[in-house]
A and B are shown apart, each in its own frame.
Chain A
Amino acid sequence: MDYSNIPGFLTTIFGFYVTLYSYNYFTESNLIINNKNIFIILIYSLIMISNNFYNVSFLKIPSSIIIIILFFLTLEKKINSKIVLSSIFISLLSIIIEFAISIMLALVVKDLKTMNRLLPVKDLFSLIFFWTYYFITKNFVFKYVYNKTLELLNKKKVIYILIMFFFFLTGALYSMYVVNYLNIQVYIFGLIIILIYVVIICCYLKEVHNNDLLKLKNVCLIERQQLYNSALEDYRILRHNLLNDFVFISSVCDEKVQKVIKEKVKKYDGKTKYITDISNIPEGLQGLIYFKSNIARKKNILFYTDNELCHKQQNFEIFSKKIYIDLFEIICITLDNAIEAADLSDNKVIYFNITSKNNKVYFVILNTFNNQIDLNNISNKNYSTKGPNRGLGLNYTKFLNKEIKIKTSIINNLFKTEISIMKKTKE
């Protein structure tokens, strides 16, 4: 080791102090600088200096990241993924900031290559870098990014993608370092590539975040729905028993009192909208039914749902994602057709029922209609009762999935579509 580089060693120690403060800031931990920790800092500074001098070029940066990770694991005296992630975050942040400062320096200084060979100049640059790093990282933006990254610790898939991203970024940044300093165009080009990659990763992380939010909202919605259905069921039973009790009381009273009781009973005359409990079917289908029923109601169509699976206290699961998605699509198209047909009819009624029989689940959609139907061409491609450039929906659903059977019929003034699928029950 070159002993004339004592300033370099001191700069490295300083760098570890700054990293430690930065770590405390991001993780909100209280790692203090006591005698024992000073000793650890000294040891790791030696290791870092050795890495800078003696390691193979392309391993310097990855090794320095590993040294930082080990440093914090030693200080914390425990091993967990949060410490590792925080260390990687701090290391990469320092590399990115150093890289940005290098770019700015390359724009200002003409002969950077010569400057780079002078150790005192290099040490001075490092000092400036560490000071700059300390103040820059106090910006709330980095803290925000850090906290968001930490939320992804529970998601293995996302962590693996992030780890790959970290390694790519490290490699890319390192490649920038070993290229000729004078060649500014290469730097800028490399920086653009890295920025594009960072933007892609940020978009991906944003989608992951939005997905989590949606899941959370969905859980809240389902909980509220269950509470509502439970309350509705309690109310229904109470009302039923109350009304029957009124009958009994009325039967033992004289005519005058009976009239009074009848008047009182009118208060309990059900004016509630009857909403069926559909919590035992997959959530996506629940959302679809609620969504389509809202569309129908906006068109003044009476949309009534029933769920016999609930009455039989059965759940059902679809075998595979593909079948589920196809079933969803078929029900969606059928409901759209039902809404369009009912809208044109005089009575405007749609009835949606879920029932089961002989190990099959049936989705039955009944709707009123007022139309001209060619019984031989119905569900043929390009045939539609709704005008030209239509006529793909029924044909498309017919051939979508052979596991899902669709049967259509007309009973007097009602159009009935029966969609059936084998079920896997969980009782």
Chain B
Amino acid sequence: MLKFVIVEDSPEFQEIICKVIDKTIFKTENDYRIEKYSKYSSELSNTIKDCSIHKIYILDIDLGKGPSGLEIAKEIRNIDWDSEIIFITSHDKLFETVYRNLFNIFAFIEKFVSLESRLEDNLLKIISKKADYGKFYYSNNKIDVQIYYKDITYIYRDTIERKLVIKTSNNKFLLNKSILEISKELDERFKQIHRACIVNVDRVNIFNWSKGYFELDTGEKVDLCSKSFKGNISNGLF
């Protein structure tokens, strides 16, 4: 079940967007529901807080009086990083780049530049995208961390630092945990392939068991691959 939440102050545009949604979803046979708002309200706030259903927000930025689409997007992201947000806007590139990076906005569509076709394309992309919102959570008295599983490439034990290292596409996080402890917090895509290494198999291109390395989709080669754990990959066991 999908819920489309449209926040747009112009009734004409609301109708245009509804037509596009109906036309797009009809092809996919998904169940869906559309909620329309012309401005921020308590009903919209309740919808945002309800995380039981997967939502796609289509927000206009300028809503006249009251909170703008930006503020609504921020409120959404305070609670929910899994729903998709599409902005209907005419703002400049600076704004788009910042919000795309910081608030995980799926798309920015300009009102007067092929709105219907671009909206349809983006909705199809969202629907065909495999929903993958699993996260790794870690918290101590200094910092709270949440990282998507899909961003983690591999995890290994650094024997020099004597810490567990979580490697993502761009960063490295060191923490005081063991391989066994962290394995309980991960999902089935993570397999142990070395005494000191767990890998995200969705991010691996090649396993070279004879030479003892694996190659990631980022191009990185890691020499932590042991034949004795080959069964975990072939059997699908963890």
Contacts and interface: CB of A to CB of B under 8 A. Distances in A.
Interface of A: 236, 239-240, 243-244, 246-248, 251, 262, 265-266, 268-274, 302, 304, 306, 308, 311, 345-347, 349, 351, 353, 366, 368-379, 407-414
B142 A410 contact: no
B218 to A, nearest CB: 12
19 contacts: A243-B112, A251-B12, A262-B113, A274-B94, A304-B94, A308-B71, A347-B101, A372-B172, A372-B173, A375-B143, A375-B145, A378-B143, A407-B144, A408-B142, A408-B143, A408-B144, A410-B147, A413-B170, A413-B171
Given A247-B10, A411-B146, A302 B97 contact: yes
Interface string B145-175: 1111001000000000101000011111111
Contacts of B12: 247-248, 251
Chain B binding site: helix, strand, loop or mixed by DSSP? mixed
Majority DSSP secondary structure for residues of A touching B: mixed
Contacts of B71: 308, 311
B91 interface: yes
Contact of A379 (B9, B90, B95, B142): B142
A265 B174 CA distance: 52
Nearest to B68: A311
B231 to A, nearest CB: 32
Contacts of A274: 91-92, 94-95
B143 to A, nearest CB: 5
Q: Which of A266, A374, A377 has the most CB of B within 10 A?
A: A374
Contacts of A413: 151, 168-171
A368 B62 contact: no
Nearest to A377: B174
Contact of B170 (A311, A370, A377): A370
Interface string B61-74: 01010011011001
A377 B173 CA distance: 11
Interface string B192-229: 00000000000000000000000000000000000000
Nearest to B165: A372
Given A251-B12, A366-B102, A379-B142, A270 B170 contact: no
Contacts of A273: 92, 94
Contacts of A346: 170
B176 interface: yes
A374 B110 contact: no
A239 B89 CA distance: 12
A265 to B, nearest CB: 5
